[in-house]
Amino acid sequence: MRTVPTTIAFVLAGGLALSEAAGAVPVEPELVGVVTPEFDPSVPCLTAGEEEAILARLAARKAELAARGVLLSPDAASAPLEFGWPLRLHPVIDDPGYHCVRSYRDHDPTPGFRLDWHCGQRTYDSHHGIDYFIWPFAWLRMEQDQVEVVAAAAGQIIAKVDGNDDHNCVMDGSPWNAVYIQHADGGQAWYGHLKNGSTTTKPEGAMVARGERLGIVGSSGSSTGPHLHFQVFDGNSQLVDPYSGSCNFEPTWWLDQRPYDDSAVNAIRTHDTPAVFPGCPGTEIPNERNAFLPGSTIYFAAYYRDQLSGQVGQYGVYDAAGDPVFQWSHSSPQPYYAAALWYWRIDAPQSGAAFGTWRFEVTFEGVTTTHHFWVGSLVDAPDEFVSITRPRIAVLGANPRSAAAGPVDFIADLPSSGVGRLTVVDVRGRTMASFGDVWRPAGRHVFRWEASGAPAGVYFARWMTPGPSGAEPVTAKAVLTP
């Protein structure tokens, strides 16, 4: 399977329904755009030849295990398998969702035609597995080991493959990292495209339980983004589609089969700049921020899966007193998005709202998702809102202030450890002070600029890191008065 680079379509702000609460600032949220990772259903992630080669290799491995006397013999009388969900989000991350289905098994044997278990088209020609993509921030989640692949059913590891590159963007037939499990009935489950170095430490021949970690979702093999290819065979070596539906009359293999239209909000976020989705294999730059000054521009983002036209999302932004500051609703004009990000730009009020912990809420298909953030003095922002994915620079204390009032302290909240530099420049770009390229741990750092003697004017503190390329410098503005 193949994805083409993310496209961004800009949409006019028209058509928004905005209900203003009494006292709310009369600014209509501006819909900035929609981001949808697109899907080209023309290229398989496992060709027929590759599948045959894997089957031959698995047969050889089974023969080796049998020769060592450790291969479990199939039990024709074993109970039908009941699959659990093959993915698991790291428990410290509380997003309500993190995946989307991009391709089911193809049930139409005619070349050029496709049909999924629900008689829809969410598959591609000759696809024998199911592709579960990660959404949003698939590359970032891969780097951070956020989404595990777990065994859908208990069984024996008959083979595992690791050591292959996991940043693939093309369908070049390169080998993937995978774990192959044989079930009690003699059938198999294939878990493919895993992250390099992530496969279970258990050896071939070992048993795994349902829900046991097998690896991390990656993009090894013929792949253009981190996803799991999950492929199942029964005890007679016949391909199985575990989903039961009007174009696959077999009983479901799932303990709890998810609906075809599994429409939901996967995540909501606040950003100071829209998230950046570079082309494959660039790691996404979320530009998340959870602490804002009054009057700041805030981007409110909702990340959906299986979004259908006509489904209405109800949005609300509530201040520290619980009063609505903005409320609006939105539905997608497109018939179907496997995955979509919609985001709005709002300028937080300077006054007239209760500052402190605010709430961003989206209600969609009967489920309400809540995200808390801070609007107010940044120095007072609780730590939970400061743990962000992007450095934050601010002026400590009064600003503007008298040039004679003594040194200016800049605080830098660093989301991760690393090398960086804080430079203070004047409006003509001349360096006034520089705090060198040394390694610093994550957390809050204070940089003192001895500003005495500096003329009145506007100064900028810039935080710069050597990478990643394309990262914008983060700045804070200090104003010195005579």
Tell me: does residue 129 bind Zn ion (CB under 5 A).
yes
Which C-beta is closer to Zn ion: that of 95 or that of 131?
131
- Write down the least CB distance from residue 103 to Zn ion, Å: 6
Options 225-233, 296-304, 363-371, 396-404: segment touching Zn ion (CB under 5 A): 225-233
Indicate which single residue of 95, 116, 131, 272 sits in contact with Zn ion (rule: CB under 5 A): 131
Distance CA 458, CA 434 (A): 17
Tell me: does residue 229 bind Zn ion (CB under 5 A).
yes
Options 43-51, 88-96, 291-299, 432-440: segment touching Zn ion (CB under 5 A): 43-51
Structure tokens at 150: 């777990």
Say which amino acid occupies 285. Answer: I
- Contacts of residue 53, defined as CB under 8 A and 6 or more positions apart, other chains included, come to none
Going from the C-alpha of 329 to that of each of 18, 126, 272, 362, the distances in angstroms are 7, 40, 22, 9
Structure tokens at 6: 């993310």
Contact (Cβ atoms closer than 8 angstroms) between residue 53 and residue 364? no
CA Rg value for the chain: 26
Options 11-19, 40-48, 86-94, 168-176: segment touching Zn ion (CB under 5 A): 40-48
Structure tokens at 125: 């020609």
Structure tokens at 233: 């065979």
- Write down the least CB distance from residue 50 to Zn ion, Å: 11
Q: How many helices (H) and strands (E) does the chain have?
A: 3, 30
- E-assigned strand segments in 86-238: 87-89, 99-103, 130-134, 147-150, 155-161, 178-182, 188-192, 207-208, 213-216, 227-233
Contact (Cβ atoms closer than 8 angstroms) between residue 214 and residue 198? no
Tell me: does residue 274 bind Zn ion (CB under 5 A).
no
Tell me: does residue 221 bind Zn ion (CB under 5 A).
no
Contacts with Zn ion by CB under 5 A: the residue count is: 5
- Write down the least CB distance from residue 43 to Zn ion, Å: 10
Residue nearest to Zn ion (CB): 229
Tell me: does residue 272 bind Zn ion (CB under 5 A).
no
- Write down the least CB distance from residue 192 to Zn ion, Å: 7
Cα within 13 Å of Cα(164), Cβ side? 20
Which C-beta is closer to Zn ion: that of 2 or that of 271?
2
- Write down the least CB distance from residue 297 to Zn ion, Å: 40
Structure tokens at 404: 């004679």
Tell me: does residue 106 bind Zn ion (CB under 5 A).
no
User: Collapsing DSSP states into helix, strand and coil, what is residue 410?
Assistant: strand
Which C-beta is closer to Zn ion: that of 225 or that of 316?
225
- Write down the least CB distance from residue 227 to Zn ion, Å: 7
Tell me: does residue 45 bind Zn ion (CB under 5 A).
yes
Give contact residues for Zn ion (rule: CB under 5 A). 1, 45, 129, 131, 229
